[in-house]
A = this chain, B = another copy of it.
Amino acid sequence: MRARSVTEQARRAQIVGAAIETLAGLGYAATSFKQIAARAGLSSTGLISYHFKGKQELVDEVYRQVVRQFADFVLGFMDQSDTAAGELRAFFTANLRFMRAHRSHMVALMQVRPHVSTRGEAGDHRKMADLLRAGRRAGEFREFDADTMAIFLLALRNGVLAKAAEDAALDLDLCERELLTTVALATGAHDMT
């Protein structure tokens, strides 16, 4: 993989940004190169093809970029905790906070996810399951199958974010409080402080 010039990186970022806006605003189906080029102020769709080998590469790049930003944001919160239960709590808090701060990125993520070529979601799942296993070994959680519980918790996270993405009026504070309680009960966490 050859290096990319700074100019090129800037253009790619600009295009990815325009793609994110478009995805968030119009949905995946209506996100054509024409729309993206217009929103980015480019003179032709050819420029997009010039910087990305194909539509798939752009889509994948959008996904990677949002996911990375998202992961950075979330991990920033989680590092501060030292128990598994604490990390879990931080995980959900961070997710909702990201939603508040970067709504359109979140919506774009939801739109683009089904069309990504290689999803790193297996990673999400594995990390969550590992966290749960660690917590169980430490006696922080009740007895459950870690992989299955990981599915549940990620389902909760995804569902709540999806709801928030489509219903801007949702009360995220209430959601957050209830979510933490619910997760604590579901995992049998003695203490999630």
> Is there contact, CB below 8 Å, between A163 and B155?
yes
Pick from B142, B154, B163: contact of A151, CB under 8 Å: B163
Closest to A155 in B: B159
Q: DSSP class of A's interface residues: helix, strand, loop or mixed? A: helix
The reply on A13 being an interface residue by CB < 8 A is no
Contacts of A163 in B (CB 8 A): 151, 155
Pick from B144, B181, B186: contact of A144, CB under 8 Å: B181
| Assembly CA distance A145 to B111 (angstroms) | 29
Contacts of A188 in B (CB 8 A): 185
Chain B min CB distance to A164 (Å): 9
Chain B min CB distance to A9 (Å): 17
